[in-house]
Amino acid sequence: MTNQDYLKDLSDIKTLMNKSTRFISLSGLSGIMAGIYSLIGASYAYWLVTTSAKDYLILDEKTFNIVLIDLFLIAFFTIITAIFLTTRKAKMNGEKLLDKTALRAISSFLIPLVTGGIYILVILNQQKYGQTGALMLLFYGLALVNASKYTLGKIKYLGYIEIILGLICAIIPGYGFWLWVIGFGVMHIIYGIIMHFKYDRKQYQ
Amino acid sequence: MSKNIIQHINKIFDHRIRLGIMSILMVNEYAEFNTLKELLGATDGNLASHIKALEKAEFIIIEKQFIGKKPNTRYSTSKLGKLEFKKHLNALEKLIKQ
């Protein structure tokens, strides 16, 4: 054995220790679906607001509630789809869905996300609407970055992008809707497609 | 000095798959056969023979059980295995620094 061999041994050990403690079953398809749901939901909200005879996003209570329900439905369908597709993928790979790596990934994802969700509801109740889009992007981005420690698949970079979009959105809240569409719609689809071809396809073969 | 280090390079770990099995088990409470197989990209027979070698050295513990009707085997490191692997790692690191 030469020094090179020892070095290679050590780097193999490091890679395996890293890889084996991360959750790998998250399906790329669920990212694509999340993006599509977001776009559908956003289109509906856009249609609703533009036909409600006002140009900008100060809504009467009824429209506002419908938009909230719209958001809730997007989140609901996204979660259901993610659970379904990830379960399917885990089964195909002969892995258990809720192993330790999955639980760690989920809890580190949910803590920033739920905190953000509750915070947004609190300030909405205080009639502070301006930063909603920015806050959603920011907390979601932070949740992704936090979970990335326990997942494979470069979810970290999606998180960074969401955080940057969130900060831009905070500066120009007037474009909040469009930044939200980019962050939750377009970015999910792009990310999902990359992941699907990079990881999923390889494993199915 | 150099001789001393070489003594700690453990022959049993002198194979990619065995080194891999130990690396995974060091940072996980336990792992199943399929998990090891997937992470290491080994065939069933190949992996099984290396597991056997590590078991024989008493570096890993094999725990068989049934989940419903399916047999399920879990592997984890023994105290001895952990100790020996740490020694092996230290020796590797020292050798590189030389």
Strand order in the sheet with B60-67: B31-32, B70-77, B60-67
Which chain A residues are closer than 8 Å to B40 by Cβ?
16
How would you write the pLDDT of chain A (205 residues) with one tens digit per residue?
577 788 888 888 888 887 777 776 677 888 899 999 999 999 998 888 777 665 555 556 777 888 889 999 999 999 899 888 888 877 776 666 666 677 888 899 999 999 999 999 999 888 888 888 999 999 999 999 998 888 766 788 999 999 999 999 999 988 888 999 999 999 999 999 988 887 666 544 4
Q: CB distance A16–B23 less than 8 Å?
A: yes
Q: CB distance A16–B16 less than 8 Å?
A: no
Distance (Å) from the alpha carbon of B8 to chain A's nearest alpha carbon: 13
What are the start-end ranges of the H helices in chain A? 3-20, 28-50, 61-92, 100-125, 132-147, 155-171, 176-180, 187-195, 201-204
Residue closest to A84 by CA, chosen among A24, A22, A29, A40: A29
Count of CA atoms in the C-beta half-sphere (13 A) of A90 = 17
pLDDT along chain B (98 residues), means of 10: 64 86 87 86 91 93 85 90 90 81
Which chain A residues are closer than 8 Å to B89 by Cβ?
10, 13
pLDDT on residue A204: 44
Say what the pTM is: 0.68
Say if CB A150 and CB A18 are below 8 A apart.
Answer: no
**From the candidates B6, B9, B28, B47, which should be mutated to test the interface with A, based on the most A CB atoms within 10 A?**
B28
The 3-class secondary structure across A50-93, one letter per residue, is HCCCCCCCCCCHHHHHHHHHHHHHHHHHHHHHHHHHHHHHHHHC
Distance (Å) from the alpha carbon of A96 to chain B's nearest alpha carbon: 9
ipTM of the complex: 0.77
Which chain A residues are closer than 8 Å to B24 by Cβ?
16-17, 20
**From the candidates A6, A21, A25, A95, which should be mutated to test the interface with B, based on the most B CB atoms within 10 A?**
A6
Q: How far apart are CA A64 and CA A70, in angstroms?
A: 10
Distance (Å) from the alpha carbon of B72 to chain A's nearest alpha carbon: 12
Q: How far apart are CA A101 and CA A109, in angstroms?
A: 12
**Pairs of CB atoms within 8 A across A/B:** 49
Which chain A residues are closer than 8 Å to B42 by Cβ?
none
Q: CB distance B35–A12 less than 8 Å?
A: no
> In Å, what is the CA distance from A131 to each residue of A120, A172, A188, B97?
9, 10, 21, 54
Element (H, E) at A151: none
> In Å, what is the CA distance from B2 to each residue of B6, B87, B94?
6, 15, 9
Cα-Cα end-to-end distance for chain B: 11
pLDDT on residue A73: 93
Q: How far apart are CA B79 and CA A153, in angstroms?
A: 33
Distance (Å) from the alpha carbon of B23 to chain A's nearest alpha carbon: 5
User: How many degrees, rounded to 5, is the angle at CA B61 between CA B55 and CA B66?
Assistant: 115
DSSP state of A102: H
Q: How far apart are CA A20 and CA B39, in angstroms?
A: 7
